[in-house]
Structure 1
Amino acid sequence: MQKNIVIIGAGITGCSLAHFLANTGWDVTLLESQDDIASGGSGNPVAAIYPKFMLNDKAYNDFMLKSFMFTTAWIDKLGLNKDDYRFDGAIEILEEAYSHKLEINFSSGSVDQEKILISIDKPILKKYLMNQDLSGLLFHRGGWVNPIALCRHLVNHSNIKVLTNQKIISIEKLNNEWTLKTKNQKIFKSDHVAICNAAYLHQFDLTQHLHTDAFRGQINWVNSTPFQMPSIVICDEGYVAPLMQNKHIFGATYGMNDFNKDLRLSDTKKNIASIKKIHREFHNYCLAQKTISGRVSWRASTKDRKPYVGRVFNNELFKKMRVRELAQTDQLPWLDNLYVASGFGSRGFTFAPYCTFVLANLINKKLSKDDKGTLNYTNPERYRLKKMSLKKAASRIFKV
Structure 2
Amino acid sequence: MTSSNSIIFQQDGSPFSTQFDDIYFDTEDGCSQSEDIFINGNDIRQRLLKSDSDFTIAETGFGTGLNFLLTLQLFMSLAQEHDIAELPTLHFISTEKFPLDKATLEQSLLLLPQLSAVVSLLLSQYPEQTSNSCKLKFLDGKVTLSLLIGDAAQSLSGLDRRYENKINAWYLDGFAPAKNPDMWSPALFQQMHRLSAEQATVATFTVAGIVKRGLTTAGFRIYKQVAKGKKKEMLAGKFQMPKHKGYMQRPLTTKPQHVAIIGGGIASACAAYSLAKAGIKVTLYCKDESIAQGASSNAIGAIYPLIHLVKDDISIFYEKAFEHALGRYNTLLAQGYEFDHDWCGLLELSFKEPLRKRQQQFAEKSPWSTRLIQAIDAKTASERANIPLNDGGMYFPKAGWIAPAQLVSAMLKAAQAIGQVKIKTKVNVEQISPLADDKHHTKWQLKTNKGSLLVNHLVLSTGAEGLLSDIDELKHLPVYAVRGQVSSMISKAPLDKLSTVICHKGYLTPANQNEHCIGATFDKDDFSIQQKDSDDSYNLDMLNQAMGYLNPWTSKDVVQSKARLRCMTPDHWPIVGPMPDIEQHKTVYPHLAKDKHWKYDDPAPVKKGLYVLTGLGARGLCTAPLLGDILAADLSSAPYPVDNTMLFNLAPNRFVIRDIIKNKC
TM-score, normalising length from structure 2?
A: 0.55
Task: Choose which of 420, 435, 447 in structure 2 pairs with 1:182.
Answer: 447
Q: Please, which runs of 5 or more residues in structure 2 have no aligned partner?
A: 1-254, 593-597
Asked whether the equivalents of residues 17 and 356 of structure 1 are also in contact (C-alpha less than 8 Å), the reply is yes
Query: Which residue of structure 2 lines up, in the alignment, with residue 42 of structure 1?
Result: 296
Q: Please, which runs of 5 or more residues in structure 1 have no aligned partner?
A: 392-400
Asked whether the equivalents of residues 311 and 335 of structure 1 are also in contact (C-alpha less than 8 Å), the reply is yes
Matched, 1:376 2:648: yes
Between 265-274 and 307-316, report the one with greater CA deviation: 307-316
**CA offsets per residue over residues 222-268 of structure 1, 9 Å max, x none?**
23325433111111011111111332111111111112322111111
Asked whether the equivalents of residues 9 and 32 of structure 1 are also in contact (C-alpha less than 8 Å), the reply is yes
Counterparts of 1:204-283 in structure 2 under 5 Å?
A: 204-225=471-492, 227=494, 228-276=496-544, 279-280=547-548
Query: Which residue of structure 2 lines up, in the alignment, with residue 162 of structure 1?
Result: 423
> Could you say if the C-alpha distance between residues 346 and 377 of structure 1 is closer, same or farther in structure 2, counting changes exceeding 3 Å?
same
Query: Which residue of structure 1 lines up, in the alignment, with residue 318 of structure 2?
Result: 64
Query: Which residue of structure 1 lines up, in the alignment, with residue 400 of structure 2?
Result: 143
Query: Which residue of structure 1 lines up, in the alignment, with residue 382 of structure 2?
Result: 126
Matched, 1:362 2:646: no
Distance 1:369 1:356 in 2: 11
Between 97-106 and 301-310, report the one with greater CA deviation: 97-106
Asked whether the equivalents of residues 206 and 315 of structure 1 are also in contact (C-alpha less than 8 Å), the reply is no
| RMSD (CA atoms) | 2.5
> Could you say if the C-alpha distance between residues 389 and 244 of structure 1 is closer, same or farther in structure 2, counting changes exceeding 3 Å?
same
Distance 1:65 1:36 in 2: 32
Matched, 1:339 2:611: yes
Distance 1:106 1:168 in 2: 47
- The residue type equivalent to 2:608 in the other structure is D
CA shift for structure 1 position 390: 7.3
> Could you say if the C-alpha distance between residues 103 and 343 of structure 1 is closer, same or farther in structure 2, counting changes exceeding 3 Å?
farther
Partner SS, residue 561 of structure 2: strand
Distance 1:150 1:328 in 2: 42
Partner SS, residue 379 of structure 2: helix
Distance 2:359 2:473 in 1: 42
TM-score, normalising length from structure 1?
A: 0.88
CA shift for structure 1 position 385: 1.0
Asked whether the equivalents of residues 487 and 558 of structure 2 are also in contact (C-alpha less than 8 Å), the reply is no
CA shift for structure 1 position 306: 1.1
**CA offsets per residue over residues 40-79 of structure 1, 9 Å max, x none?**
1111001101122235570111111111111112211112
Distance 2:571 2:633 in 1: 25
Asked whether the equivalents of residues 170 and 182 of structure 1 are also in contact (C-alpha less than 8 Å), the reply is yes
CA shift for structure 1 position 324: 3.8
- The residue type equivalent to 1:166 in the other structure is V
Query: Which residue of structure 2 lines up, in the alignment, with residue 197 of structure 1?
Result: 462
Identity of aligned residues (%): 25
> Could you say if the C-alpha distance between residues 53 and 348 of structure 1 is closer, same or farther in structure 2, counting changes exceeding 3 Å?
same
Matched, 1:31 2:285: yes
Query: Which residue of structure 2 lines up, in the alignment, with residue 12 of structure 1?
Result: 266
Asked whether the equivalents of residues 529 and 565 of structure 2 are also in contact (C-alpha less than 8 Å), the reply is no
Distance 2:363 2:455 in 1: 48
> Could you say if the C-alpha distance between residues 245 and 10 of structure 1 is closer, same or farther in structure 2, counting changes exceeding 3 Å?
same
CA shift for structure 1 position 309: 1.2
State the structure with bigger RCO (CA 8 A, min sep 6), 1 or 2: 1
**CA offsets per residue over residues 124-150 of structure 1, 9 Å max, x none?**
233224444212111010101110111
Partner SS, residue 371 of structure 2: helix
Between 212-221 and 255-264, report the one with greater CA deviation: 255-264
- The residue type equivalent to 1:59 in the other structure is D
Distance 1:63 1:361 in 2: 17
Distance 2:654 2:405 in 1: 32
> Could you say if the C-alpha distance between residues 105 and 160 of structure 1 is closer, same or farther in structure 2, counting changes exceeding 3 Å?
farther
Task: Choose which of 425, 433, 439 in structure 2 pairs with 1:172.
Answer: 433
> Could you say if the C-alpha distance between residues 283 and 240 of structure 1 is closer, same or farther in structure 2, counting changes exceeding 3 Å?
farther
Partner SS, residue 299 of structure 2: coil
Between 352-361 and 13-22, report the one with greater CA deviation: 352-361
- The residue type equivalent to 1:150 in the other structure is L
> Could you say if the C-alpha distance between residues 267 and 282 of structure 1 is closer, same or farther in structure 2, counting changes exceeding 3 Å?
farther
CA shift for structure 1 position 30: 0.5
